[in-house]
């Protein structure tokens, strides 16, 4: 009999063009390749609800509207959870006996519903969310966004114990694995590194360009902070080196700051194939983070499909990928690493990141967990 699984996603995972949805999309494909019949339940906002785009990733797809707006703010539940509440979704889940994979704390509304008490429930922890939102508050300028992130961090910390209703918590790195293992001993914590496109996009060797690339979702305060820091603290030290900042929805202040710097350009909202080409052609990747939380899909993308990678320690914490990168934290150290990288042709083919970042090996770990729970 074919194995079945229900997956609840916080967002329509196609196109897989930023962190969390990349993990969801390629995890769905890995589940299908491992022989699962996948029923995807996905909230959808800001994207067309087109099930045809997921034909190679799910057998059935159900879309649900997210209840955005001020009314969803008036709740003890976090906004990211309360705005994703759907009685229809819960009714559909209650009509199945398959294991349920909740993608992120965002998607956990109803995990404590008595109708699901007998089900195998796994939560994919994309972050320690209250820490992540605290970091977003610190990265934001004073105003309503900072107040929202600070309030959301407190609500997420209060809500997080709902994870006691999970059978398993799948953490993205070892630091967060230890956190969940200690905080929720009644649920089995397992290490499940991020899923991503682990097949090279191009046949030619990477690094043929003459520029440094920073990539990230530029609508996220943490990434905007990193991009502005690169302009102010790094690009100014290397006026002869072109820098490209690529990502979705860059704010006006970032565009203005880049325009005032002669060696920095912004690639706004690049199509996936355009971003793939930038990643492939960049001579060096500069990847910075100011909070060591969650998955760093852009790091995996650069390492698997790009040339030299320069990263700071928060970007690498818990990943085990330090040996593949130039590692530095201070502006002058980072600039020195970039100078070295720009002078070194990158003649190697795609890096082999080992079983830890192999999609098939990781889905086998998840499959083993489900099989053990079924046998109990």
Query: Whole-model pTM?
Result: 0.88
Residue 182 confidence (pLDDT) above 90: yes
Dist. CA 324–CA 265, nearest whole Å:
27
Dist. CA 151–CA 215, nearest whole Å:
28
What is residue 293's predicted lDDT score, i.e. its pLDDT?
A: 67
Q: How far is CA 312 from CA 126, 139, 325, in A?
A: 20, 17, 9
Q: Give me the chain's average pLDDT, please.
A: 92
What is residue 79's predicted lDDT score, i.e. its pLDDT?
A: 94
Residue 375 confidence (pLDDT) above 70: yes
Dist. CA 60–CA 31, nearest whole Å:
13
Dist. CA 344–CA 352, nearest whole Å:
20
The alpha-helical segments, DSSP class H, found in the chain are: 19-33, 79-82, 87-94, 129-139, 144-159, 174-183, 221-229, 252-259, 272-281, 297-305, 313-316, 331-343, 359-375
Name residue 2's beta-bridge partners.
Answer: none
| 70 SS3 class | helix
Question: Mean pLDDT throughout 142-150?
Answer: 86
Residue 117: which residues within 8 A CB-CB, separation 6 or more? none
Question: Comparing 372 with 347, which gets the higher pLDDT?
Answer: 372
Residue 190 confidence (pLDDT) above 70: yes
Q: What is the DSSP string of 37-60?
A: EEEEEEEE-SS---GGGGTTT-SE
Dist. CA 363–CA 34, nearest whole Å:
7
- Contact criterion met (CB below 8 Å) for 312 and 288: yes
Residue 348 confidence (pLDDT) above 70: no
Per-residue pLDDT tens over the stretch 227-285: 999 999 999 999 999 999 999 899 999 999 999 999 999 999 998 889 999 999 999 99
Q: Which strands form 60-65's sheet, in the order they lie side by side?
A: 60-65, 36-44, 3-9, 100-103, 121-125, 168-171, 188-191
Per-residue pLDDT tens over the stretch 291-327: 776 667 889 989 988 999 999 999 998 888 999 999 9
Residue 17's CB: how many other CB atoms inside 10 A?
Answer: 17
What is residue 290's predicted lDDT score, i.e. its pLDDT?
A: 85
Residue 328 confidence (pLDDT) above 70: yes
Residue 117 confidence (pLDDT) above 90: yes
What is residue 337's predicted lDDT score, i.e. its pLDDT?
A: 96
């Amino acid at each position: 009999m074919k194995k079945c699984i229900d997956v609840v996603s916080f967002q329509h995972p196609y196109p897989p063009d930023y962190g969390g949805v990349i993990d969801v999309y390629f995890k769905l494909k890995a589940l299908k390749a491992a022989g699962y019949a996948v029923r995807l339940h996905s909230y959808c906002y800001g994207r067309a609800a087109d099930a045809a785009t997921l034909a190679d990733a799910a057998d059935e797809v159900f879309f649900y509207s997210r209840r955005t707006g001020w009314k969803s703010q008036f709740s003890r539940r976090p906004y990211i959870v309360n705005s994703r509440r759907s009685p229809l979704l819960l009714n559909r889940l209650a009509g199945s006996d398959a294991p349920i994979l909740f993608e992120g704390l965002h998607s956990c509304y109803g995990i404590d519903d008595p109708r699901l008490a007998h089900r195998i429930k796994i939560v994919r922890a994309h972050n320690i969310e209250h820490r992540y939102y605290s970091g977003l508050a610190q990265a934001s300028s004073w105003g309503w966004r900072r107040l929202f992130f600070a309030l959301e961090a407190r609500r997420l910390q209060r809500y997080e114990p709902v994870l006691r209703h999970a059978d398993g918590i799948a953490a993205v790195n070892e630091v967060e694995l230890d956190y969940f293992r200690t905080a929720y001993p009644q649920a089995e914590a397992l290490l499940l590194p991020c899923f991503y496109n682990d097949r090279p996009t191009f046949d030619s060797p990477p690094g043929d360009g003459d520029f440094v690339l920073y990539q990230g979702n530029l609508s996220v305060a943490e990434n905007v902070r990193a991009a502005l820091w690169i302009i102010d603290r790094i690009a100014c030290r290397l006026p002869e080196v072109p820098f490209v900042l690529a990502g979705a929805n860059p704010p006006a202040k970032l565009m203005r700051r880049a325009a005032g710097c002669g060696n920095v350009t912004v690639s706004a909202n690049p199509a996936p194939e355009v971003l793939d080409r930038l990643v492939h052609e960049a001579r060096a990747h500069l990847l910075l983070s100011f909070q060591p939380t969650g998955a760093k899909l852009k790091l995996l993308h650069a390492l698997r499909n790009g040339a030299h990678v320069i990263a700071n320690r928060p970007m690498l914490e818990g990943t085990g990928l330090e040996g593949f990168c130039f590692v530095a934290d201070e502006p002058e150290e980072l600039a020195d690493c970039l100078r070295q990288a720009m002078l070194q042709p990158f003649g190697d083919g795609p890096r082999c990141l080992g079983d830890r970042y192999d999609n098939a090996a990781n889905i086998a770990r998840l499959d083993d967990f489900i099989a053990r729970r079924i046998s109990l």
